[in-house]
Amino acid sequence: MAISVELERLLSGWLARAPWRPQDAEGPVDVEDALPVSAAPLFLRSLDDEPGAGLPGTQQPARVQGLIVVFSLGEADDTRRLTVPLTLRTREAYELRPHLIGEVDDLTLGHCFVYDGVADPEFVRTVVELVEAGGPVRPGEIAGPVPGGQFTAVTLDDPDAFAEAPARPAAQAPGTGAGAETEDELDADASGSVPIPAPPQAPPRIGRDTPEETHDEGLRLELRGGQRANSSAVLHRTGRPPVIVKVFRTVEPGRNPAVTVPAALSGRGSAVVPEVLGWLQGFWYDTELLQETFGQLILVSRFLTGSTDAWTAALTAARAAAPGQGSSEESEETPGTGGFTEQARHIGAVVARMHRDLAQEFGATVHTPEHLREAIAGWRSRVEWALARVPVALAPLAAPLRKHLAALEELQPGTLQRVHGGLDLSALLFAGEDTSVVNFSADASGPQLPAEDLVGLLRSIDRAAGLARLERTGALGGDADAAALGLVGAHELDALARRVAASPEHAWSAATQEALLGGYLQEAAGTEDPLGVEPGHPLLRAVLVDRLLSEVVDELRNRPAGLEIPLAALALLLQPERLEDTPDTTGDGEAEAAGDGVNEDAGEASGDPGEAGDDVREG
């Protein structure tokens, strides 16, 4: 089906303000030219329990229509597809006003209020009920005929759950089945939507519930903030465990590793991920590609009630690392560790178990000479890229970076396997005695080094320490000075590194990182393949330098006051001996540390402000 010009214009303005809109190295991507390529209806139902108890002066009940619009952004190889779930309500929902996109006149429903579907309990509940029931979403199954039958709710016991290109059920194939779209409908003019027949009065809901049971059922929707690429909501229902519904805002055709990887682990009974209940996948005719497209759009999993993310715990511990900053409960830990070393050791063990489960499920191999050359070429390219973009701040490290490049040529092959991708502390949840891993990356589709995940965690720990140090020294107020803006020379960089190395937060970071790697290696003991994650291992060092260079560029562009966190870490990693010989003539440099805040937004304040950025309690 097509959407009206009025709705398209409304959505274009809203997309430009959406917090989850795509980003690249330069910041948020311009979505002004995004075009709708598909609009697939998911459900249409009455909102009233009794026939006729509808809009004032009519016998027509208030209705809500749920649909998923897919937008195309960019061109050729840079094309992205954006997933936009919507609800159109014929009656305003005052409790959803913060999520109101606007008002339109629909050809079938009349005057409607348009809402972000992720925030609408009717949309989220429908997705959950579809997954709980399983199977294709056929016309009439929810609340009367809907055209196209473009969605399938998949569970782990579905024989085609992990098929590379699952076929539509026969009853849903284009041009067949009740309510299926014809070619004329697919080519409908964008000035009006395809009419949808009105649903029967008081329609039954899908799933095990009767209308009476769902009418009395307690329902509460909790939105999860802090995401950059996805949107999530937790559905709380009386008498049932809560579930979390995660909408992938950017979707690629085919299987989504952010769905299939945790689903595969859950299917084999792995204890490192929350139980995956299923997902919603869609088939739509893409008017840009001129072909039918398949994508996995929404993931439904168990929500870990009362869970705490490891980033929050680590940041609390880092803040307590300095004398007089912590509580008496932390005095039993080694001074300077802030009470987190055992948790870090446990995290390392959990990640090792995750890697073992992933290797058993997807296989593992060792670098071929060609793969190793490609990896080295990528690392070399990163060094040149960073030196060109942060020339002043990285100038004192140019020589050791060249030495690092030369050492890369001596690297030995390491293990390659499926990994989490973009792992940081916000992706680990503590729930009682259990620790779970969430937020698997949609980009981690091929085998990678286990060190990629470990480096993400190590940098997350150091970032917590750096933020705590900047807070303690008052460096998060005022304007960024020259050092924060990257206008530093060799002497200033040496002084910065010495201040950081002498801080209690750095001691906490070092002890915590050592504990995490120790926990990982202890759990992974006996593995025959070369892991490349031992402290000081050349592969771990190569990945770490690569990540630090990315952080330096990112901080300078987006959070200049936070530049000193990765810059000092890079200096200490590349030239520890030179820094030890350089006197610090700045006095108590910590009190003069560079100034503006690290600009932690609402999501980053409650989760690791690293690259992943997803919700810290997703599960």
Paired strand residues for 46: 63
CB-count exposure of residue 505 (10 Å: 0-12, 13-18, 19+): buried
Q: Do 320 and 326 contact (CB within 8 A), yes or no? A: yes
What proportion of the chain, given as a percentage, has pLDDT over 70?
72
Question: Are residues 568 and 543 both part of a single domain?
Answer: yes
Quote the CA–CA distance of 452 and 198 in Å, as a whole number.
52
- 614 domain-assigned: no
Question: Are residues 479 and 577 both part of a single domain?
Answer: yes
Domain finish residue from 302, 330, 354:
302
- 177 domain-assigned: no
Domain finish residue from 302, 321, 343:
302
Q: Provide mean pLDDT across the span 135-153.
A: 52
Q: Provide mean pLDDT across the span 65-74.
A: 87
- 459 domain-assigned: yes
Q: Do 467 and 558 contact (CB within 8 A), yes or no? A: no
In which band, very low, low, confident or very high, does the pLDDT at 16 lie, cut at 50, 70 and 90?
A: confident
Radius of gyration of the chain (CA): 26
Q: Do 618 and 226 contact (CB within 8 A), yes or no? A: no
Question: Are residues 263 and 336 both part of a single domain?
Answer: no
- Kindly state the tokens that stand for 428: 């680990």
Look at the pTM and tell me if it is higher than 0.85.
no
416 CB-side CA count, 13 A: 15
Question: Are residues 394 and 247 both part of a single domain?
Answer: no
Domain of residue 109, residue span: 5-46+63-165+215-302
Question: Are residues 445 and 580 both part of a single domain?
Answer: yes
Q: Which residues contact 429 (CB under 8 A, 6 or more apart)?
A: 274, 304, 307, 308, 309, 310, 435, 436, 437, 438, 616, 617, 619
Question: Are residues 236 and 345 both part of a single domain?
Answer: no
Question: Are residues 289 and 312 both part of a single domain?
Answer: no
**Residue 421, domain CATH:** 3.90.1200.10
Helix axes 398-408, 564-574, angle to 10 degrees: 60
More confident residue, 542 or 175: 542
pLDDT of residue 487: 55
Question: How many C-beta atoms lie closer than 10 Å to residue 91's C-beta?
Answer: 17
Quote the CA–CA distance of 90 and 243 in Å, as a whole number.
28
For the ranges 334-343, 363-372, 434-443, 522-531, the lowest mean pLDDT is seen at 334-343
Question: Are residues 323 and 240 both part of a single domain?
Answer: no
Q: Write the pLDDT tens digit of every residue in 492-508.
A: 888 889 999 999 999 99
- Kindly state the tokens that stand for 353: 């178990």
- Is the confidence at residue 50, as pLDDT, over 50? no
pLDDT of residue 488: 59
Question: Are residues 393 and 522 both part of a single domain?
Answer: yes
Domain tally for the chain?
A: 2
Domain finish residue from 302, 329, 344:
302
Question: Are residues 328 and 423 both part of a single domain?
Answer: yes
- 259 domain-assigned: yes
Residue in 347, 318, 312 with CA at minimum distance from that of residue 500? 318
Q: First and final CA of the chain: distance in angstroms?
A: 33
Residue in 55, 56, 59, 8 with CA at minimum distance from that of residue 34? 8
Residue in 168, 177, 18 with CA at minimum distance from that of residue 85? 18
CB-count exposure of residue 99 (10 Å: 0-12, 13-18, 19+): middle
Average pLDDT, the chain: 78
For the ranges 199-203, 335-339, 355-359, 371-375, the lowest mean pLDDT is seen at 199-203
Pairing of strands 250-251, 151-154: unpaired
Q: Write the pLDDT tens digit of every residue in 409-418.
A: 999 999 999 9
